[in-house]
């Protein structure tokens, strides 16, 4: 596809990295020449120095023949205007990043009246991700499929975990019910496990299950899966606002510590159910004084990555809380695997994943649509959900007889109200939603799983 990305900041750079690997023709637009040259010198993209809300600039970028325009400048208003101009100048799909909470209640209006195909809010995405993680304190990441009926829950195998030393083939008999573990990361190695695979302490495993079965699964393997009742957030920015709203709605006692007294006043007005503390969240004594030791969840949401990492480590040292830190620089990711922080959240990767899913779904696939997509383990694997639109070589044939590519796991089939964790005798039917985990990239159609 021909894709225009307006805005060459951190998210724009990440999008070029992710989309550029899928053989798209990409043009980036930004007023800052250094940002444009940084991308074009490093990555496979053309660059234009100019204003993305200028019709002339968009023409130069090829808007009349573009398939998709993504506006991710620092200004919500510029992003919206850029998409409106693109819709009038060409026939491309448009995606606008809109971050201000003022617009959040008006997303449907903006999308419908301005003709936007997608409005994406990184802060809201991040807050929703953290809220999901708090559902299962033993998990460090949760990906959802089939409108929440299927979950891919990522967790670390500990010394006392029931799975430690177990062969995968014995999993169902030991648990007494069926779940699927389609992916394991051991060190730098990403593994699609087979029946003789033996779990080891330190493995990062991913289990596919329903929300109801997930609780039983974690209890069976020796993890507590009690719900979060109290949460402490350090930093009173937009993510904290969205997250606190989610947590309060779920009945979770929420406390926010923010050093700026004006921000505290605003949060007190907008979040009457939360406790707002004006203070330095990096002060360990203050954290203990405000109840860190009894908090079920702790989230570091300051504007500094290093501070968030250290705060999460401090929280783990002072308590048994579930510690989450927000990280902006994705080049920290490889280092964080050696640091004992429960969960790290990367807002721009969440944003890129959502846009990548949309771009993948735009491809003219005859047999299926990409409904959901999550990049796993720094892009070494993907979890995809396909909607099967019509008959093909993958339908109406037992899975055991399909000639699948190597390193593919068919995890679940949702057929109307029925959830199937497939065995070799199950078949994929038209109308199914199928979740697969793969060590391949660029799959656009369910038929891509075949050799």
Q: Are residues 10 and 116 in the same domain?
A: yes
What pLDDT, on a 0 to 100 scale, did the predictor assign at position 138?
A: 83
pLDDT of 241 over the 70 cut: yes
Lowest mean pLDDT among 14-23, 29-38, 80-89: 14-23
Higher pLDDT, 111 or 330: 111
322, 372: one domain: no
Write the CA distances from 15 to 62, 298, 313, 357, 443, integer angstroms.
Answer: 18, 30, 30, 12, 17
pLDDT at 223: 86
With respect to residue 225, please indicate whether it lies within any of the assigned structural domains: no
Better-scored residue on pLDDT, 311 or 108: 311
At 75 the three-state DSSP class reads: coil
Give yes or no: residues 94 and 8 share one domain. Answer: yes
Q: Are residues 209 and 249 in the same domain?
A: no
Task: Please check the confidence at residue 366 and state whether its pLDDT lies above 60.
Answer: no
Average pLDDT of the residues of the chain? 91
Q: 280 lies in a domain?
A: yes
Residue 331 has pLDDT above 70, yes or no: no
Residue 101 pLDDT: 86
Q: Does residue 236 surpass a pLDDT of 90?
A: yes
CATH number of the domain residue 201 falls in: 3.30.70.1450
One domain, residues 193 and 247: no
Q: Does residue 319 form part of some domain?
A: yes
Residues 367 and 313 in one domain: no
Is 322 buried (19+), middle (13-18) or exposed (0-12) by CB count in 10 A? buried
| pLDDT tens digits, one per residue of 260-297 | 999 999 999 999 999 999 999 999 999 999 999 999 99
Residue 125: inside a domain, yes or no?
no
Regarding whether 370 and 301 lie in a shared domain, the answer is no
Say what the alpha-carbon torsion angle 149, 152, 156, 160 is, to the nearest 10 degrees: 40
**Residue that finishes a domain, picked among 120, 154, 169:** 120
Say whether both 387 and 284 belong to one domain: no
Beta bridge partners of 413: 420, 434
Number of domains in the chain: 4
Are 210 and 237 in the same domain?
no
Domain range for 105? 2-120
Lowest mean pLDDT among 60-74, 325-339, 352-366: 325-339
| Domain co-membership, 65 together with 152 | no
- Same domain, yes or no, for 157 and 246? no
Instruction: Give me the residues paired with residue 141 across strands.
Output: 154
Three-class secondary structure of residue 286 per DSSP? helix
- C-alpha 99/C-alpha 79 separation (Å) is 10
Is residue 226 domain-resident?
no
Confidence of residue 333 (pLDDT cuts 50, 70, 90): low
Over residues 399-444, the pLDDT tens digits come to 999 999 999 999 999 999 899 999 999 999 999 999 999 997 778 8
Q: Decide if pLDDT at 50 tops 90.
A: yes
| The predicted structure's pLDDT at residue 226 | 66
- Which pTM does this prediction carry? 0.86
Over pLDDT 90: what percentage of the chain?
69
Q: What is the pLDDT of residue 105?
A: 81
Binned at pLDDT 50, 70 and 90, residue 362 comes out as confident
Distance CA 265, CA 271 (A): 10
Question: Residue 140: its pLDDT value, please?
Answer: 87
Has residue 367 got a pLDDT over 80?
no
CATH assignment at residue 54? 3.40.50.720
What is the distance between the alpha carbons of residues 375 and 152, in angstroms, rounded to a whole number? 12
Which pLDDT tens digit goes with each residue over 294-316?
999 999 999 999 999 999 999 99
Kindly state whether residue 351 falls inside one of the protein's structural domains. Answer: no
Q: Based on the fold, state whether residues 213 and 240 are members of the same structural domain.
A: no
What SS3 class is residue 18? helix
Beta strands (DSSP E) in 64-201 are: 68-71, 93-97, 118-120, 139-145, 150-156, 180-186, 189-191
Kindly state the average pLDDT of the residues 224-247. 91
Asked whether residue 240 is assigned to any structural domain, the reply reads yes
Residue 350 counted as domain residue: no
Q: What pLDDT was estimated at residue 61?
A: 96
Helix, strand or coil, per DSSP, at residue 12:
helix
Assign 364 a pLDDT band (cuts: 50, 70, 90): low
Domain boundary among 100, 120, 140: 120
- Please say which residue of 196, 220, 244 terminates a domain: 220
User: Is residue 51 predicted with pLDDT exceeding 90?
Assistant: yes
H helix or E strand, kind and range, residue 234: strand 230-234
């Amino acid at each position: 596809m021909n894709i225009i990305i307006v805005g060459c900041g951190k998210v724009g750079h990440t999008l070029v990295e992710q989309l550029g690997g899928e053989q798209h023709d990409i043009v980036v637009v930004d007023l800052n020449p250094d940002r444009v040259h940084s991308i074009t010198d490093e990555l496979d993209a053309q660059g234009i120095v100019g204003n993305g809300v200028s019709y002339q600039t968009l023409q130069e970028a090829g808007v009349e023949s573009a398939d998709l325009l993504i506006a991710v400048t620092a200004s919500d208003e510029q992003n919206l205007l850029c998409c409106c101009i693109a819709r009038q100048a060409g026939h491309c799909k448009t995606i606008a990043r809109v971050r201000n909470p003022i617009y959040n209640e008006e997303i449907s209006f903006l999308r419908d009246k301005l003709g936007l195909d997608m409005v994406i809010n990184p802060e809201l995405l991040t807050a929703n991700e953290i809220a999901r993680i708090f559902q299962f304190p033993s998990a460090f990441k949760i990906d959802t499929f089939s409108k929440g009926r299927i979950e891919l829950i990522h967790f670390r195998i500990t010394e006392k975990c029931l799975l430690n030393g177990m062969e995968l083939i014995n999993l169902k008999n030991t648990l007494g019910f069926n779940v699927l573990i389609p992916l394991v990361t051991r060190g730098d190695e990403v593994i699609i496990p087979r029946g003789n695979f033996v779990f080891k302490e330190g493995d990062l495993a991913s289990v596919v299950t329903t929300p109801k079965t997930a609780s039983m699964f974690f209890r069976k393997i020796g993890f507590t899966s009690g719900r979060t009742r109290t949460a402490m957030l350090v930093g009173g920015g937009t993510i904290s606002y969205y997250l606190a709203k989610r947590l309060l709605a779920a009945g979770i006692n929420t406390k926010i510590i923010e050093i700026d007294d004006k921000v505290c006043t605003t949060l007190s007005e907008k979040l009457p159910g939360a406790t707002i503390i004006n203070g330095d969240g990096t002060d360990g004594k203050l954290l203990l004084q405000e109840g860190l030791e009894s908090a079920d969840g702790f989230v570091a949401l300051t504007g500094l990555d290093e501070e968030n990492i250290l705060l999460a480590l401090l929280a783990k040292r002072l308590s048994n809380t579930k510690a989450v830190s927000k990280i902006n620089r994705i080049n920290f990711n490889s280092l964080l695997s050696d640091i004992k922080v429960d969960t790290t959240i990367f807002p721009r990767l969440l944003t890129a994943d959502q846009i990548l899913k949309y771009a993948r779904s735009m491809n003219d696939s005859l047999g299926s649509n990409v409904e959901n997509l999550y990049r796993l383990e720094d892009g070494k694997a993907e979890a995809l959900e396909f909607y099967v639109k019509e008959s093909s070589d993958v339908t109406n044939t037992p899975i055991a007889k399909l000639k699948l590519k190597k390193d593919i796991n068919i995890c679940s089939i949702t057929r109307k109200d029925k959830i199937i964790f497939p065995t070799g005798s199950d078949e994929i039917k038209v109308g199914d939603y199928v979740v697969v985990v793969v060590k391949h990239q660029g799959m656009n159609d369910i038929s891509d799983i075949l050799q």
